Structure 1
Amino acid sequence: MKKIGIDLYGGDNAPESVIQGAIFALENKFLNNCELVIVGNKKDYSEKFNKFNNVSFIDAENTVDNHTKPTQALKMKTSSIYKGCELLKNKELDAFVSAGNTGALLSAGTFVAGRLKGIKRPALAVALPSKTTPKILIDAGANAEVKPEFFYDFAREGIAYADFMGIKNPKIAILNIGTEEGKGSTLVKNAANYLKEKNLNYVGFIEGRDVFTGDYDILITDGFTGNTVLKTIEGTAYYILSELKASIKKGGLFAKLGALMMKGSLYSLKTKLDYRQYGGTFFLGVNGILVKAHGSSDSEAIANALYVASEAAKKDIVSRITKEV
């Protein structure tokens, strides 16, 4: 039975959202053949899970917040983030989910859980919607400053993630300001030359406008750019949906009738653009399955994060990365 850990205190809406999301996941069989390990205060919250026989607690403190620096988090050995990553290191958890401080989680993941042998830089990988199979963006925020050779680590981590998602022989591209080989910064041009020398299915550069539609499967960039892309996508999606909703309200009877007739299509669009459906991002390259849920995760997002973590544990994504290395 796989053991899936959850940070009770991670996220803007914790611990309530974590408790509700965990209960939802348990009641709706998101964690089949898994034990849920809640990293937090057992005394205050264990009674909420009395009806479940596959739930346990590891006591930890709520000491990491959004203002905690990554280096400080490494000294907070009783915090839920530190303890969760320590449990990963000791193989007492098969996966750990947190919606807490990103910097603190990445620091603990790298230096407490530890990196996989042969990986210099772990990275955040996120699935983006597309017309066919999801696109994989990596790095989505772990490494603001990188070297060309780090792109090779990102590629191998992305290949393992693609394999986990059922994508075979994925096409690998680098995010750039143009598709021509002479365009871009020294970093991306050197990274492209580096990947060309490796036995990878590298297909060249992809522009920002083709993130959702380009002929690729894995899109590699530095963490600063990747996180900016991700946040821009989220902001744009919310803006479009809110403006569409406002336009329908102002449009009168015919607009509302039209919206009613298109209800299924509009709901499908909203679902594709909703980060909650994807649960979280994988922090790949560490010695264990570490899932970073969105900081503003509600119960639905937490439940989905637990689901993807359990599936990654069952399919052993860490071994897939090790195989690539």
Structure 2
Amino acid sequence: MRPNRPPFSIPSLRRGLRVALAASLPFMALSACDHADSKPAVTFAPPQFSNQPPLNLNVASISVVDRGQPGTIPGDLSARAPFPPDQSLAQMAHDRLIAAGSGGKGVFTIDRASILHQPGGVLDGQLNVHLDVTSADGRVTGYAVAQVTRSYDPKTRHGNSDTPENLNALTDMMLQDMSRELENQIRNNLGNWLVTPPAAGSVAAQPLDGTPASGPATVTATTPAASQPGNGSMTIGGGPTDSQPASAPAPATTTPAPKAAAPAVDDGPDAIFPTGYPSDDTDSTTTHTAKQPQLRSPPPGNLTLPGATH
């Protein structure tokens, strides 16, 4: 009689487990890859300089020349940065350097924009730029030079230090340094070329002979007294003085009353004109309001000779 045996022997059970484990390995590897791919990608914001005060130059145009493109310096890693530093410098010039004049031009040149990988995982960055100002006749009348260097140690014990995150962090720090250094150099070396733009609502000066203005000017609009609203008169060869405002009313002029004619003296009838005569020789300025009585000779019998008695 055969002894009782379990339905599965130990060797067969071990063999089955090994087969099942080997069959599940590909699925486990795929699961690990899916988990790694589910990590969110890192996004980087482009550099912005519009929140910093602009530098208004008395030139008609400003151009950018890029001589610091990636790869210009041996071992340069700037091309692997999310935003290469030379392109960020061009954006800085576009945002901060403003052409606010009517003649001449400015040329912003990028001489170097590099990132090098040093021993020990340290990243070294360097930015060199200069700005030339040219007059309307083509003469270089001023320039400013700015240079920035910075080292960044990510302190990475394992792996590479030149990751996009580290390159972007070093680029941002260099751009902040360059923005401050460039403004200081422009104010120190090109201070005469900085202008203040006209305020909103002001009147810009324009020569009357048709020649272009040499630069922007801030002019405060003033209204002369003769052209103020409500005063339509214009005085030529004179006018109200400062002590007498133009809007003061003119003093009233009093016309003197005409002289009254002297009353006629009754000396009796005239011997030549016994019937009387009209008073035509009176002053022409006298206005008669009533008809003057005419003198006539007395009736007969009223005249007597001197010394005679009735």
| TM-score normalised to structure 2 length | 0.20
Q: Highest relative contact order (Cα 8 Å, sep 6+), 1 or 2?
A: 1
Structure with greater helix share of residues:
1
| TM-score normalised to structure 1 length | 0.19
